[in-house]
Amino acid sequence: MDLTLKIWRQENAQARGKFETYKVTGISEDASFLEMLDILNESMVDKVQLPIAFDHDCREGICGMCSLYINGRPHGPDQGITVCQMHMRNFKDGSTIVIEPWRAKPFPVIKDLMIDRSAFDLIIQAGGYVSVHTGGVPDANSIPIKKEHAELAMDAAACIGCGACVATCKNASAMLFVSAKVSQMALLPQGKIEAARRVQKMVAEMDDLGFGNCTNTYACEAECPKDIKISNIARMNWQFLIAKVGAQKMNA
Amino acid sequence: MKLDSKIPDGPLAEKWTNYKASQDLVNPANKRKIDIIVVGTGLAGAGAAASLGELGFNVKIFCIQDSPRRAHSIAAQGGINATKNYPNDGDSIYRLFYDTVKGGDYRAREANVYRLAEVSSNIIDQCVAQGVPFARDYGGLLDNRSFGGAQVSRTFYARGQTGQQLLLGAYGALSKEIHKGSVELFTRREMLDLVVIDGKARGIITRNLINGKLEKYFGHAVVIATGGYGNAFFLSTMAMTSNGSAAWQVYKKGAFFGNPNFTQIHPTCIPVHGDYQSKLTLMSESLRNDGRIWVPKNKEDAEKIQKGELKPGGIKEEDRDYYLERRYPAFGNLVPRDVASRAAKERCDAGYGVGSTGLAVYLDFADAIKRLGKNVIEARYGNLFQMYEKIVDENPYETPMMIYPAIHYTMGGIWVDYELQTTIPGLFAAGEANFSDHGANRLGASALMQGLSDGYFVLPYTLQNYLADQIQVARIPTDHPEFEKTEKEITERQEKLMAVKGSQSVDGIHKKLGRIMWEYVGMGRNQEGLEKAIGMIRELRAEFWKDVRIPGRIDELNIELDKAMRVADFLELGELMAKDALDRKESCGGHFREEYQTPEGEALRDDENFTFVSAWEYQGDDKEPILHKEPLIYENIEVKQRDYK
Ligand SMILES: Cc1cc2nc3c(=O)[nH]c(=O)nc-3n(C[C@H](O)[C@H](O)[C@H](O)COP(=O)(O)OP(=O)(O)OC[C@H]3O[C@@H](n4cnc5c(N)ncnc54)[C@H](O)[C@@H]3O)c2cc1C
Ligand code: SF4
Ligand code: FES
């Protein structure tokens, strides 16, 4: 396949970026999208030019490191997968592909297609865990958990923290990401104990970091490579409400 | 220097308890005065840092990725072993210990393996308490499966994403400590060297991958938890940034390297499709529970398939060779990884392979679908089938999958004693980065167990034993001459690399190394090939330093320079791997020396001469390393020939 690529180049966080056009030829349909970028980068090294910086690591859709808009869509045209899992057979020979970093205020560009997602770590640090220490915990089978609940918790826990939900949202809301963690924990007896505290802290942190509000456009669910459901947001709102009511009762 | 494995006295089952009862501890007020550096945020690193932070130490943790949650542990699929014996099928600490030593072909240290089996139950308790959503049955209790040929069901799993869920559990614990302030997190940092002061590990130097600056960090002790070095082969199931550099740099500073040649080749990966390929994808081993592996019985059929003139469906049942079932009737498709991998290579080398390259075998689900129904197969493997279809563009419900072995794990690593301390005092190694528990072959679902065991349950004890007499040591400022000297050496190395201005890309040379490693230091090894490989690697190394091309500058984000630093180390490590393989004149586990096999083509160990750990000591760039042998003594297990027939 021969392709024209319009790729965002930006020297560093401060610099102003712009699109550059590149041609690649003879790409196999069986190559992955990132392998296609590798080939382009190899040719740039050949010309002693700086290759395009992009984030990636596992290349099998699980680490959450890859993050590209392809023709305006996070993770590209195919549903339910990450960029690194996409293969060139999804594109037509001779077409033009526009490649950009994710655009969201809380995810500033570092260079070219690389972005800074440390805001997600900060949200988790605010409370996205069960506060147990190593050792001294009960036997794993001492608290049975309904299979349905364990399955729903696993659905939510499958989030890879890629940030596509934020990137696709016109408000740059992190609700899908945050709600996935809140839901996972709230569905499990181990996590229930500090559910109220958790949701309040994580939501406060999310707001502080400049993520926007959720206005129910459902774009996040459509672009999420791990099929995280919007129903998690409803569950989180419910948790938030209970936490508020609980706090009012305590104060009354 | 004499090797001392520091195995505690006493009966096997009491060693760890006795050790803990008599070791030195650091009192709470003093813990605050101690700094610990942990390199790596995988299961081993994150588990250790979180637990040490909880105890009150000051911890600094480092990773290459933008978040600790993206360490390569995230990619593990199948599961984690533990001796809970919930299914009541006869499991016990001894049995897991026994299986691990036997699976490792009697090349692992008894005491370490026993401790691993002993704490395995605690790991599951810990993970459940953290909210890890393991699979459950309808009664609400934890579900188990049998994995990789084990005769008991002791594998806990979270769909096909066990590593992800365990790592997110550890990441949660780590995040809690970061929030509390006991752990400080440094992402997008790569450790380039260790700082040794008066013979003790006292700090590290990292490259800030965003701006290229070198940074110096002090620690009273340093833990290396940087994962495996399988990418020496270029193509592997490892992540792109997985590397051997931290292990290699500490080796050059005096830590011994244990069994460098012991590499695991996983039998069920998606075959290579082109020379632009950047990595290989694992298809979970659990597929072998229901899939049947075969190739055509007739060479003519295989050739037609390779040319695309025949489809697998066109081959009659009696013309198929289910070679694992044929050769190993007792274990069939569930033989251990090394055995399954070699059998696939044997068939393909003999010309019976399928796919356009002839380097693939079929993994067929037709019988299982007939027997259990498509629904059951979909419930078990739906995700994997979907992943396969995305990559290969074929539907495994309708046509057999194609698989081929790929580099997957390194049993070898930094040599450590019972305390996980290296031969440099104050330097510890954990997880895949150390050599400790798997001998010459790792059993499925045991790496996750080892990572978490090292991180949660071993290091928090053994590190204290070392640190107890370090409380008087004041923090050493990082302008100490040793820090400055090490920093200068790194700067010079980077400048030398940039100054080459040659014509070949880093990846180009890395691929060349990978081809040498796969050809001569891969699944089948022999003296002639290994000697040849050593020569070729030396030449390639010289070529690299004469002809590599790295655009850009040192003091900026520079992915080519980052990769070049790693490949420079692989070019040295690869040679030691070949040397170690050459030295070990026997076949054991993943190490198959073609000269040493039974008439039926099975691996032939030489227990009399090779029941030891090879621990290599660096002597200088142009000098031969010294081989130290740690004898392995089996007092609690009868050493047998592995037999899966
Ligand atoms: C595809 C796949 C599937 C697997 N499935 C299973 C399974 O089902 N069951 C099982 O038991 N095992 C499995 N394994 C093996 C297992 O996942 C690994 O052995 C284990 O997770 C390694 O953990 P770790 O903590 O030692 O290192 P890793 O998780 O590899 O972490 C390494 C860390 O070190 C950091 N690092 C590396 N070098 C440097 C440096 N120089 N400076 C700073 N930081 C550095 C990295 O950033 C990372 O944070 C699988 C492996 C693969 C590849
Ligand atoms: S919710 Fe989906 S899109 Fe958002 S971070 Fe998680 S996996 Fe990515
Ligand atoms: S590179 Fe890991 S998810 Fe894409």
pLDDT given at position B218:
98
Average pLDDT, chain A: 96
Residues with CB under 6 A from ligand 2: A 159-165, 176-177, 180, 224-226, 228
Q: Read off the DSSP letter of residue A150.
A: H
What angle separates helix A231-251 from helix A175-186, to the nearest 10 degrees? 70
| Pair B360, B404: CB distance under 8 Å | yes
pLDDT tens digits, one per residue of A217-245? 999 999 999 999 999 999 999 999 999 88
pLDDT given at position B405:
96
Pocket test for ligand 2, best of A102, A155, A159 (most atoms within 8 A of CB): A159
B129 at interface of A, judged by CB pairs closer than 8 A: yes
Q: Read off the DSSP letter of residue B625.
A: P
DSSP lists the bridge partners of residue B257 as B414, B616
Q: How confident is the model at residue B256 (pLDDT cuts 50, 70, 90)?
A: very high
Of the bound ligands, which one is closest to the alpha carbon of residue B407? 1
Instruction: Tell me the average pLDDT across A115-127.
Output: 98
Would you call B559 and A53 a contact, using CB atoms and an 8 Å cutoff?
A: yes
In this complex, the residue of A39, A57, A158 whose CB is nearest that of residue B276 is: A39
Instruction: Tell me the average pLDDT across B200-215.
Output: 98
Distance CA B548, CA B500 (A): 6
Residue A8 pLDDT > 90: yes
Which one-letter amino acid corresponds to residue A193?
I
Query: Kind and range of the H or E element at B207?
Result: strand B200-208
Which homologous superfamily does the CATH classification assign to the domain defined by A3-111?
Beta-grasp domain (3.10.20.30)
Query: Kind and range of the H or E element at B603?
Result: none
Domains A3-111 and A118-246 alike in fold? no
Strands B200-208 and B257-258: unpaired
What angle separates helix B43-55 from helix B162-180, to the nearest 10 degrees? 30
CA distances from B285 to A58, B178, B220, B355 (A): 18, 36, 41, 20
Instruction: Tell me the average pLDDT across B2-14.
Output: 95
Structure token pair of residue B178: 């970061």
Distance CA B396, CA B393 (A): 9
Q: pTM of the entire structure?
A: 0.97
Distance CA A163, CA A220 (A): 9
Distance CA B45, CA B43 (A): 6
Which atom of ligand 2 has the smallest separation from the CA of A180? Answer: 1
Would you call B69 and A157 a contact, using CB atoms and an 8 Å cutoff?
A: no
* Chain A neighbors of B137, CB-CB under 8 A: 147
B239 at interface of A, judged by CB pairs closer than 8 A: yes
Structure token pair of residue B336: 């251990």
Of the bound ligands, which one is closest to the alpha carbon of residue A225? 2
pLDDT given at position B641:
81
In this complex, the residue of A32, A129, A147 whose CB is nearest that of residue B173 is: A129
Instruction: Tell me the average pLDDT across B73-101.
Output: 96
How many A from CA of A176 to the centre of ligand 2?
7
Strands B257-258 and B413-414: antiparallel
> How many CB atoms within 10 Å of residue B272?
16
Would you call A191 and B131 a contact, using CB atoms and an 8 Å cutoff?
A: yes
Q: Read off the DSSP letter of residue B418.
A: T
Which one-letter amino acid corresponds to residue A100?
E
How many A from CA of A74 to the centre of ligand 2?
11
pLDDT tens digits, one per residue of B40-59? 999 999 999 999 999 999 99
User: What residue of B is the nearest CA neighbor of A53?
Assistant: B559
CA distances from B287 to A226, B48, B368 (A): 22, 32, 11
pLDDT given at position B163:
97
CATH 3.40.350.10 fits A118-246, yes or no: no
* Chain B neighbors of A150, CB-CB under 8 A: 133-136, 140
Q: How confident is the model at residue B538 (pLDDT cuts 50, 70, 90)?
A: very high
Residue B64 CB–ligand 1 contact under 6 Å: yes
In this complex, the residue of B240, B460, B552 whose CB is nearest that of residue A57 is: B240
In this complex, the residue of A53, A125, A135 whose CB is nearest that of residue B178 is: A125
Domain boundaries, chain A: 3-111, 118-246
User: Which of A109-113, B45-49, B382-386, B584-588 is the least confident region?
Assistant: B382-386
Q: How confident is the model at residue A252 (pLDDT cuts 50, 70, 90)?
A: low
Residues with CB under 6 A from ligand 3: A 56-59, 61-66, 82, 84
pLDDT given at position B141:
98
pLDDT given at position B53:
98
Would you call A161 and B69 a contact, using CB atoms and an 8 Å cutoff?
A: yes
pLDDT given at position B602:
86
Phi-psi region of B155 (alpha: psi -120 to 50; beta: other; left: phi over 0): beta
pLDDT tens digits, one per residue of B114-172? 999 999 999 999 999 999 999 999 999 999 988 876 889 999 999 889 999 999 999 99
Would you call A140 and B142 a contact, using CB atoms and an 8 Å cutoff?
A: yes
Q: Pseudo-torsion of CA B72, B78, B80, B86, nearest 10°? A: 160
pLDDT tens digits, one per residue of B474-497? 999 999 999 999 999 999 999 999
Instruction: Tell me the average pLDDT across B29-41.
Output: 97
Q: Pseudo-torsion of CA B118, B119, B125, B126, nearest 10°? A: 180
pLDDT given at position B386:
87
pLDDT tens digits, one per residue of B419-456? 999 999 999 999 999 999 999 999 999 999 999 999 99
pLDDT tens digits, one per residue of B560-603? 999 999 999 999 999 999 999 999 999 999 999 999 999 888 89
Q: For each of the domains in chain B, give its residue range(s) and CATH number, in order of start.
A: 267-407 (3.90.700.10), 488-624 (1.20.58.100)
Would you call B164 and A158 a contact, using CB atoms and an 8 Å cutoff?
A: yes
